[in-house]
A and B are shown apart, each in its own frame.
Chain A
Amino acid sequence: MMHNEFTVVEGDFANAGKASSEIKKTLKQLNIDNQKIKKIVVAVYEAEVNAIAHAYGGTIYVDLDEEKICVLIKDKGPGIPDIARAMEKGFSTASAKVREMGFGAGMGLPNIKNNVDELDIQTEIGVGTEIKMIVNFNS
């Protein structure tokens, strides 16, 4: 069992992807299947960009054992008013800055959903959003 935490800072686009990169390195060292690694790091990277772009930063909690990886991304708000709409491909509230970074086309949450085995999103307006994702290594 391994536990790791990463802090994500609002608007810090220069470092977006750092946590995902660290997670990838760890999984590679553990000889996890390459396709499984890609799935989880693509999902975490999209969520990391979301936390930097849309929320006021937050923390990424990673729990890892032989069977699965569980990643919880807890941000500091503003919350998602309509999750069903946010899950639709193409729905976006992204700023021009986010689009300049190559994101913000309404693909983030659908991409995350496609890559993980389990996804749970809890959100409260003005408080924040928690995205929990699990990828099983043996499925």
Chain B
Amino acid sequence: MKITDIVKVLDAQVVVGREDMDYSINHGFASDLMSDVLTLEEEHLILITGLCNNQTIRTAEMANISVILFVRNKQVSQDMIELALENDIIIISCKYSMFKTVGVLYENGLEPVY
């Protein structure tokens, strides 16, 4: 799925990376536990999470994850934006619950990591 399509189906907003709307991603992983994210071998994925702090961005950085989608209308801090910019990470934010978000993305063809 392209970022532009993800934004459309989730009525979401791009917080960081507005110039990367054509970036395409095939897999998704949803978790609020960063240690679980750090066990993944797959890298080309979108991380769907309600955990919204510096550690989310750091985890994506270490795991080579280039897109983070925050659910439940989380507010992204300036620190997080700067960290994301420094590491070329795209940040998207939507108001939907984690359950609804993953359901909609799955229905639109985003694949699970396992």
Contacts and interface: CB of A to CB of B under 8 A. Distances in A.
Contacts of A41: 62
A83 interface: no
Interface residues on A, range: 20 to 34
Interface in B18-75: 32-36, 38-39, 43, 51, 53-56, 58-59, 61-64
B90 to A, nearest CB: 18
Interface in A28-51: 34, 38, 41-42, 45-46, 49
Most B CB contacts (10 A, CB to CB) among A17, A45, A102 go to A102
A46 B35 contact: yes
B38, B43, B55, most chain A CB atoms within 10 A:
B38
B79 interface: yes
B58 A42 contact: no
Interface in A98-132: 100-103, 105, 107-108, 111, 114
A42 B62 contact: yes
A100 B32 CA distance: 9
A3 to B, nearest CB: 22
A41 B39 CA distance: 12
B85 to A, nearest CB: 13
A102 B33 contact: yes
Given A34-B64, A38-B63, A38-B64, A102 B32 contact: yes
Given A14-B79, A38-B63, A21 B58 contact: yes
- Going nearest first, the 7 A-B pairs with the smallest beta carbon separation are A17-B58, A107-B35, A102-B34, A102-B51, A41-B62, A45-B62, A101-B55
